[in-house]
Homo-oligomer: A and B are copies of this chain.
Amino acid sequence: MNAIGVDVGGTKIAATVVTPEGKILNEVRYPTQAVPPNRLIETIAAAITEVKNGFEVGGVCLAVPGLILAAENKVIISPNLHEIENIPLDEEIGRRTGLYVTVENDANAAAWGEFRYGAGKDVEHQIFITLGTGVGGGVITHGVLLRGADGAGGELGHVTIESAGPRCGCGNHGCLEALASGTAIRRRAREVASDQPYSALGRLAIEREVLGEDVTRLAHEGDEAALQVLQETGRWLGIGLAGFVNTFNPEVIAVGGGAARAGELILGPARKEVQLRAQSPSRDTVEIKEATLGPESGALGAAALARGADGEYVLGPSKRVV
């Protein structure tokens, strides 16, 4: 049966009706900023009711950034969405919509979306990494979504790959996120621009703040300084991925998020580093590739998780039983 996946983010609330095959039948988007204070739950419920619009729907899953206690359908911590913390969302939104409602971490939902419909749709072992402002992750191993004891598992951006590396937003030093996120690209671009002021990157940095997409564009145009930034980023990414390859022996690593738009400029050096650092046979069988669903992965994965909502849900439904 169809299900509704809702991407609840700091910028938008996007509710989507999805078929079991992953086809999007209807979509509604509200800007999060336009939601009046204390109306977030009502707005999510309204988006669900509006998108449902006559479609037959079996359940809803919300994909929310932050720490989720899936077993209780609660958001424990969500830095930009405090309003929905510690509320039984199944009851509050279920009551308003008449639908069965569950909650999942947004990166886990996106990982599940890629696993069901995208880069990992033919495998049982997939890692998903999203390179955005931060680095998010989700792991599917033996067909099971890895949530861990409290639902906080899969935080792949926060493994130390350089013990005295740059400080991370989480407080640690040398996390993968501190070295291979969009934020890290901008920081490194400033440093390289300052070292190479006559490069295209250096000249742009004198005019205005350099964004991640500027680095990608200049690298595509052949600027050596911009290429260096992306190569270094890819190398750090590969150091992290090599550890995941040895830890999980996955068939596919799907890389998504804004910084992944640099494509081979980042993934090429990352693959090379994995070959240098990971063990056989894991390094030989793993396929490291771009995620295929783009920003829809969260809503698609959430819808797929909603569909599996039953007694087995907390353990992560296997692809074969969903």
* Shortest Cβ distance from A164 into B: residue: B162
Contacts of A124 in B (CB 8 A): 149
Q: A154 near B: Cβ within 8 Å?
A: yes
Contacts of A142 in B (CB 8 A): 144, 146-147, 315-316
A interface residues, how many (CB within 8 angstroms): 50
Task: Identify which of residues 146-173 in chain A touch chain B, using a CB-to-CB cut-off of 8 Å.
Answer: 146-156, 158-163, 170, 172-173
Q: A141 near B: Cβ within 8 Å?
A: yes
Given contacts A146-B142, A149-B251, A276-B172, contact A159 B281 (CB under 8 A): no
Q: Are A281 and B67 in contact (CB under 8 A)?
A: yes
Contact with B along A246-263 (1 / 0, CB 8 A): 111111000000000000
Instruction: Count identical subunits in the complex.
Output: 2
Contact residue among B141, B153, B279 (Cβ-Cβ distance under 8 Å from A155): B279
Within the complex, what minimum Cβ distance (angstroms) separates A158 from chain B?
4
C-alpha spacing A137/B123, complex, angstroms: 24
Contacts of A239 in B (CB 8 A): 160, 163
Q: Are B249 and A159 in contact (CB under 8 A)?
A: no
Given contacts A146-B142, A161-B161, A242-B172, contact A279 B316 (CB under 8 A): no
Which of A161, A249, A278 has the largest number of chain B CB atoms within 10 A? A249
* Shortest Cβ distance from A235 into B: residue: B163
C-alpha spacing A189/B144, complex, angstroms: 43
Contacts of A279 in B (CB 8 A): 152, 155, 158, 170
Within the complex, what minimum Cβ distance (angstroms) separates A94 from chain B?
25
* Shortest Cβ distance from A315 into B: residue: B142
Contacts of A162 in B (CB 8 A): 162-163
* Shortest Cβ distance from A252 into B: residue: B149
Q: A88 near B: Cβ within 8 Å?
A: no
Q: Are B149 and A250 in contact (CB under 8 A)?
A: yes
* Shortest Cβ distance from A150 into B: residue: B281
C-alpha spacing A124/B282, complex, angstroms: 26
Contacts of A247 in B (CB 8 A): 139, 153-156, 159, 247
A interface residue numbers (CB < 8 A to B): 67, 76, 123-125, 139, 141-144, 146-156, 158-163, 170, 172-173, 236, 239-240, 242-243, 246-251, 276-279, 281-282, 285, 315-316
